[in-house]
Structure 1
């Protein structure tokens, strides 16, 4: 198994090129390597501001658009039941990918931020993608120390593929 990227484009304002997807896949591999994550699937969806606004309101209680949202699948609840089944004699198991979670990026917001910060849209989407990936792994930025740690990890991965400011 390995890290894999499944993506969809649910917005129509900006074209998502195969070149960008290839960059994001490389970023996923580099970030996974840096964090010791060798297996798993990340689902990435590109949306517009209206869609991410709705998700941010419904799932975080924040009534405004944002640039990226992450929904980790590895957060478990004590009351969850483990599903167990027995195989019939001679039946083989198919190894299912470990789903790390979903990352939602507003391309509209990323475009505005890339212009504001004076760098490419690819760099901004790459930054948001790695940021979202680190959230899937449990990183957060609630204080200056944790924010500095996340920023350092993000910039190190982005530098490996030439997406610097």
Structure 2
């Protein structure tokens, strides 16, 4: 079993940095190793400010653009996680043993907001997208930053993971 990432780019306003998908896949493997997650699938969508604003309004009740949203597929419960397959998965696996695939969740990143923040903070767009991806991934695992202590812990984890991939400020 492995930790995998699927992605889509639903915006055409800003060109994604060369090699960003490979860098996010590297970050996923590092973060998974650091957090003890050895298998599952993460779906990443790159979008624009208007779309992420609508999602933020519809799902969080906050009518403004944000940089990243995470939608965890599995809530923390004592139940066994459900295993999801769609028809394409079943057709691809025809004649093979099915491997359990646990979708961890979706991460939606506003590329426009990431670009604004990279300029504001004085680092590369690649670094900002990496930061937002790791931030979103940690949310999928249950991390939060509602209190000062939680924020300190989560941001320390993020920086530790980013440093291992060479994405420092």
Q: Normalising by the residue count of structure 1, what TM-score does the alignment of the two structures yield?
A: 0.89
CA–CA distance in structure 1, aligned partners of residues 101 and 18 of structure 2:
23
How far did residue 95 of structure 1 move? 1.8
What does residue 103 of structure 2 align with? 99
- Report the RMSD for the aligned CA atoms in angstroms: 1.8
SS of match in other structure, 1:70: strand
CA–CA distance in structure 2, aligned partners of residues 3 and 101 of structure 1:
12
Query: 4+ runs of 1 displaced by more than 2 Å?
Result: none
Q: Does residue 1:160 correspond to 2:164, yes or no? A: yes
What does residue 139 of structure 1 align with? 143
What does residue 62 of structure 2 align with? 62
Equivalent residue runs for 1:80-91 within 5 Å = none
**CA displacement, residues 25-64 of structure 1 (integer Å, 9 cap, x when unaligned):** 0000000000000001000000000000000000110000
CA–CA distance in structure 1, aligned partners of residues 45 and 18 of structure 2:
14
How far did residue 77 of structure 1 move? 7.7
CA–CA distance in structure 2, aligned partners of residues 117 and 92 of structure 1:
48
What does residue 5 of structure 2 align with? 5
CA–CA distance in structure 1, aligned partners of residues 57 and 72 of structure 2:
18
How far did residue 16 of structure 1 move? 2.4
**CA displacement, residues 138-162 of structure 1 (integer Å, 9 cap, x when unaligned):** 0000000000000000000000011
Q: Give the unaligned 5+ runs of structure 1.
A: 84-90
Structure possessing the higher radius of gyration over alpha carbons: 1
SS of match in other structure, 1:100: strand
What does residue 51 of structure 1 align with? 51
How far did residue 97 of structure 1 move? 1.1
Tell whether the 8 Å contact from 2:17 to 2:126 is kept in structure 1 after alignment: no
Q: Normalising by the residue count of structure 2, what TM-score does the alignment of the two structures yield?
A: 0.87
What does residue 123 of structure 2 align with? 119
SS of match in other structure, 1:13: coil
SS of match in other structure, 1:97: coil
Aligned residues: 155
